[in-house]
Structure 1
Amino acid sequence: MKPADSLNVKRENTLIITETALASVALIGLNQLWYADYPKSKFHFKNDNVEWLQMDKAGHFYSSYQLGRLGAEMMQWSGATQKKQLLYGAGMGFAFLTAVEVLDGFSSEWGASAGDIVANASGTALYVSQELIWNEQRMVPKFSFHTTHYAKYRPTVLGSSLAEQLLKDYNGQTYWLSINLHSFYKKSKIPKWLNLAIGYGAEGMISGNAANEDLFSAPKTESFRQLYLSFDVDLTKIETQSHFLKTVFTVFNTLKIPAPAIEFQQFNRIKAHFIYY
């Protein structure tokens, strides 16, 4: 949809009401589906920074950035000023995920995580800082996923279906920072759409804490971190006059395209992938 040239009050009001309603429904639904089966407690924090080799923190960083980007672009659609886009739009991701942390804090099963809050703030800060410094997004967090054999050993935690594994199986998730090369070297002949992507992943995890691995009936595994180098495409840099295509490109620009990659494993092993996703 084409952004308004100046503030469109009707669009802005529609946007505020819609976002508030969707966020409320999401939090209520999450409370019923995720927290209702566990007893409540006094608000408390839990230090989970060592769990899942920080893959969950990467997920918070990615989610906060992408929700904030969506909020800012929707505010732009309404014709709001840059200040409103960054304050109310980009802050949407941090506000929503902080509300989720509050739900965690009142659940005896979990607890609010200071590490999650820092990751949420960092994702929002990445979007806002780039808009203020460059007035464009030169570095974009992205996501890719592949199924793994680890989920079958603990499907209740890692997911029993593809949809669940997409969200829960950290072994198959990779979080990327996709860097647009042309934006840093505007006088070069580098294609505007070509990105260099740096990815982070981890593998060998049956539980959040390696010390608990022996509690599950699974082959003994050793968890390790992975660093990836690959190329990517910034779909928003593909020139088109179609506002529909621009919207489609923006949506799919949250995902890293499958491409050749080099994997550097924690144990000093290097692996080449013809196509990695």
Structure 2
Amino acid sequence: MKRCLLLLLCCLVLRPCLGQPLPITPTASGAPELKQGRLIGVAIGSAVFYTATMILLRKAWYKKRVPFHAFNDNGEWLQMDKVGHAATAYLMSRGGYELFRWTGLNDRAATLTGGALALLFQTTLEVFDGTAEGWGFSRGDMIANAAGTALFVGQQYAFGNQPVQLKYGWRKSIYAPYRPNLLGKTTGIQLLKDYNAQQYWLSLNIASVFPVGPQFPRWLNLAVGYSGSGMTGGHANPPYVGPDGREVVFERRRQFYLSPDADLSRIQQLSPTAERFIGMAQFFKIAAPSLEYNRVNGVRFHPFLVKKD
């Protein structure tokens, strides 16, 4: 849950910066002009955000400290937590990059800074986990953190943009009422704690990868998604008896999706209002028809939103 809380905090703080790269005034030589006032402000703001977030999470989740230890949670929640770590690291890397590009830093310096800040945030949380009762340092989490950061940094260095983006989707699941103390009693808490309700997408910009004609929509993406369902426990579902006295059994299953998507930052000549919308919506997968496969239901078609199950 702490990782999901950090994800939402990042969305709120960085949402104005997640669309198109913010314009940088060029100098006469064509190089970006470094805005020292902006740079100082962003650096101070990043430090304040980091400190405040770590204090908040430390007080909320790490009240009892123990000697540093490791914990293997790689088998929990059908690895949805690990994918979420990668998505959070990707989001933070991209947000940090956009912020520092706005200050006038060149592309490579901003890319490195954004990635370094993302790893700093995530690594600090893992160290906290390693010294907290009931938690532990997770090598799987750190690998996922590094993978999400590498996805952003690698593409930015190689292509100067993001042909493949990590995106997030959510729809209310049916499982939270069976374990509300673990999965959440309200929609707001379920948004953080119910892994059954989350989806993560790799969204590929078609025009960036395949040879297409000039009339092909440059904003059109193809997204591959992953989620888990039927989970009322981390490793396994505990026994549950319904009101009628019968045992309720859920099939834990992985779900795979294929769906069209859009990279709104590739739409040209946007109004300022539309650009602000991009900043808020870019990380979230748009609602669109999708195909799903899982071993319990086989192939299913969702005409608009992914089915609630």
Q: TM-score range by the shorter chain?
A: over 0.9
- Matched letter for residue 261 of structure 2: D
Task: Give, in whole Å, the separation in 2 of the partners of 1:241 and 1:263.
Answer: 33
Asked if the contact 1:70–1:90 (Cα under 8 Å) also holds between the matched residues in 2, the reply is no
Please report the TM-score for the alignment, with normalisation by the length of structure 2.
0.84
Deviation of residue 247 (structure 1)?
A: 3.8
Structure 1 position 203 matched with structure 2 position 252? no
Provide the C-alpha distance between the structure 2 equivalents of 1:263 and 1:172, rounded to a whole number of angstroms.
15
Q: CA RMSD in A?
A: 1.6
8 Å contact kept, 2:196–2:231: yes
1:251 equivalent among 267, 280, 297: 280
1:178–1:232 Cα contact (<8 Å) kept: yes
Identical positions, percent: 37
Are the equivalent residues in 1 in contact too, given 2:92–2:117 (CA < 8 A)? yes
Deviation digits for residues 142-191 of structure 1 (CA, Å, limit 9, x no counterpart): 01101112111112221112121111111111100011001113542421
Change in CA separation of 1:201 and 1:162 when aligned onto 2, cut-off 3 Å: same
- Aligned with 1:33 (options 44, 55, 60): 60
Shift of 1:257: 0.6
- Specify which of 87, 108, 112 is matched with residue 137 of structure 2: 112
- The equivalent of 1:14 in structure 2 is 41
Match of 2:80 in 1: 55
Tell me the TM-score normalised to structure 1 length. Answer: 0.93
SS in 2 for 1:276: coil
Deviation at 1:94, TM superposition (A): 1.8
Change beyond 3 A, Cα 1:79–1:205: same
What is the rounded CA distance, in whole Å, between the counterparts of 2:279 and 2:211 in structure 1? 22
221-230 or 149-158, which deviates more: 149-158
The residue number in structure 2 matching 1:239 is 268
Report which stretch shifted further, 50-59 or 91-100.
91-100
- Confirm or deny that 1:74 pairs with 2:103: no
Decide whether aligned partners of structure 1 residues 114 and 4 sit closer, same or farther in structure 2, where only a CA change above 3 A counts: farther
Structure 2 residue ranges without an equivalent (≥5): 1-21, 27-32, 243-247
In structure 1, distance between residues paired with 2:211 and 2:104: 28
Bigger shift: 180-189 or 221-230?
180-189
Shift of residue 250 of structure 1?
A: 3.1
Q: 1:162 aligns with which of 181, 184, 187?
A: 187
Determine if contact 1:153/1:217 at 8 Å carries over to the other structure.
no
Determine helix, strand or coil for the equivalent of 1:101: helix
- Aligned partners of 1:31 and 1:140: how far apart in 2? 30
**Following the alignment from structure 1 to structure 2, what is the Cα–Cα distance between the partners of residues 106 and 215?**
32
> Partners of 1:263 and 1:54 in 2: how far apart?
18
Correspondence 1:125 to 2:154: no
Quick check: 140-149 or 83-92, which moved more?
Answer: 83-92
Deviations 1:104-125 (A, max 9, x none): 1111211011011000000000
Partner of 2:24: 3
Q: Residue 243 of structure 1: CA displacement?
A: 4.7
Q: Taking CA–CA contacts closer than 8 Å with sequence separation of 6 or more, which of the two structures ends up with the larger relative contact order?
A: 2
- Counterpart in the other structure of 1:86: 111
